[in-house]
Amino acid sequence: MQEREFERVGSNHPIKLDIRVVAATNKNLAEVVKTGAFRTDLYHRLNVVTLTLPALRERRDDIPALAEHLIAKVSRKCKMRPKQLSAEAKACLMRYQWPGNIRELENALEHAIVLGSSNTILPDDLPEAIVEMGSPALPLNAHYHAAITDFKKQLVREAFRQAKGSYLEAAKNLGMHPNSLLRLIRSLDLRSDLQAR
């Protein structure tokens, strides 16, 4: 690397190179070198210019532009027409903590593009963990909340009864996306109740 040349296996003729190496890591290489898990000479050859990029959760203002770029990239990869990102879905993306950084954002958008049923990415199209963790917690009065929960349970049970147990038909009857209905059933703890019918 230092001499900017290499030899092919079985050859005695050096081949000159004019390259720059760009390397990325999520580790603190200086610390890894101290422990002996990374070669010191390689570290010093690579460590010419260091760029430190903060985690995605620390630069939330970048999320909308990154999302648009990733939607275009994933759409090309999947040979699909690019979808628009709804304001509600964008809000979910902005609230989520992104422990997996940009890779997780790309995977979430690919999930939404491939599984979404419209030309717009909605919160229902995003992975469940992102929607749930990205939802703001609202303080609710317990009595009001209990009454709303009971009403939702009755509504879902009745929709399932009319749909003869079909998730898709029940979601259609309720005017909901099937993913939203599944999330609602989980949040109301109705799965075992509906399976017993």
Distance CA 3, CA 94 (A): 47
What pLDDT does residue 135 have? 55
3-state secondary structure at position 7 = strand
Q: Hey, where are the domains in the chain?
A: 5-46, 56-133, 142-195
SS3 string, 104-155, reads: HHHHHHHHHHHHCCCCEECHHHCCHHHHHHCCCCCCCCHHHHHHHHHHHHHH
**50-64, 104-118, 130-144: range with lowest mean pLDDT:** 130-144
- Please check whether residue 181 is in contact with residue 170, taking contact to mean a CB–CB distance below 8 angstroms: yes
Task: Identify residue 171 by its one-letter amino acid code.
Answer: A
Beta-strand relationship, 5-7 and 14-16: antiparallel
Q: Which CATH architecture has domain 56-133?
A: Orthogonal Bundle (1.10)
If you search the block for the tokens 């993306």, which residue do you land on? 93
Asked if the model's pLDDT at residue 18 lies above 90, the reply is no
Q: What confidence category does residue 173 fall into, taking pLDDT thresholds of 50, 70 and 90?
A: confident
Is 66 a residue whose pLDDT tops 90? yes
Q: What is the pTM of this model?
A: 0.56
Q: What is the pLDDT of residue 52?
A: 85
What is the dihedral sign for C-alpha 185, 186, 191, 193?
Answer: negative
Residue 136 is predicted with a pLDDT of 53
